[in-house]
Structure 1
C-alpha cells in the first residue's frame, strides 16, 4: 500500500499511508463513466415548433418513458399483476399498455373512465384487475389530458399552466396513495419503494419525482412565456423610440 501511495505521489507511510491511498488515489485514474447526454434525432416537424413546443415534446416523451420504466419495475415487484392481463410475459403486458397509451385507446378494466377518474379507480382497494397496467395507463392519460390531449406540440398549440400544475400535484397524490393505501388484507396495493433491514430502495420515488419536476417546469415556462411576450412588446416600443439611427445630413 505504501508503494501505491508513492506511485500516486503521496508522501504517506504506515497507517496514514492506508488512509491516504484510500482517499486520494492516483491522480491519473479515469472517473467512473456515467453516460452522456444525447439529443433526439432531427426531424422535419421541428420547423413548425417553437423552443417551448420542442421542450414540451421532449418532456412528454421522457415522462411517458419514465412511466414505462416504472411499469416494468412495478411488474418485477408485483408479478401477479401482469399475469392478470392474460399476456404471456411481462414484456407483452408492457407493450400492450404502451400501445393503448400512445394510440389514446381506453383501457377496458377502467370501465370507460379516463383522466383522474381512471386514477381513482386504479388506486381503489377494491379494484381487482391488473393494477399496474391500470395505474400507469390512467396516470399517462391524465398527463396527456393536461397537455391538451397531445404528445407532440407545434406553433399553434398552447398550454394551460394551471392544468399542468394540477397534473404535477395529481402525480404527487398518486405516489402518496401508492405508499399509504392498503387492500382488505392490510397489504400495500402495490409493492414499490422500500426502507428496511435489507436496505433502501427509493428508485420509484426518484422516477416519479423526475416526472413531477418536468411538468412543473413546463408550467412555469408557460407562465413565463406570456410574461416575456408582454415584456418583448414593451421593449420593442422602447427600442423603436430610443434605439434608432440619427440622420447625419
Structure 2
C-alpha cells in the first residue's frame, strides 16, 4: 500500500496509576508488554520511541514478578546501562511532544491501568489515527486494545477496528486475575467489551494466559503478556507487506 513509511515505531504507555489491587498496590505499565515489543522492533531495524499521554508512567510491580520475566528480561531489568532501561528512565515523552508523521507503526502496550486512560487518551489516539491514515500498522497487546474506541478511520468515521477480528485480554482473564469487579466497579470497560463497542469481532484466546494474537491486515492485536513478542513480530510482518 505504501512505499514511504518510516521504519520507526511509537510504543504507547499507559499514564494511569492508582491503588488497584486488593492489597492496595497501584497499577501501571506491564513491563514485558513494552520490553518485548521494543526488543523485537529494534532487532528488526526499527527506531523506537516511547510516549504516554501525560509523559509520565509507573511500572506495575505486579508485572515484575518472576513468573512474568524470562532470563533476558531479568538481566535487562537489573542493567542500568541497557538501552531499554535508559529509554524507560529518561526517554518517555509526552504524547503531544511527538510528531506522528515520523512513525510507520503505532504499538500500544498495556497493563490493567490501560482501561482507565486509553479510552480518553486523545493525543495518543490521534497519533494512531495518523499512522493508520498514512497506511501504517497499528497494533496493541493485552489491555492496550482499550484505546481503539477512540482511534477513528477518517474515511469511515468508525473505529479502525470496526468489522475486523481482534483479540485482547479477555473478560474471563480479568475475572481469573481477580480484577474484574474492580474494573467494573470503577465504571471502566474490559478490553473485550471495548472491542465490541468499537464494532470489532472480538476473539478470545483459547487459554486466557497463553500466547495468542490476531492479524487483520494492518491491525494486529495480542491477548496477554505472553503474547507481546508474537504480536510485535506479526506487526513487523504486516509492516513489511505494506512497504514492498
TM-score norm. by structure 2 comes to 0.27
TM-score norm. by structure 1 comes to 0.26
- The structure richer in strand per residue is 2
Q: RCO (CA 8 Å, sep 6+): is it higher in 1 or 2?
A: 2
- The structure richer in helix per residue is 1
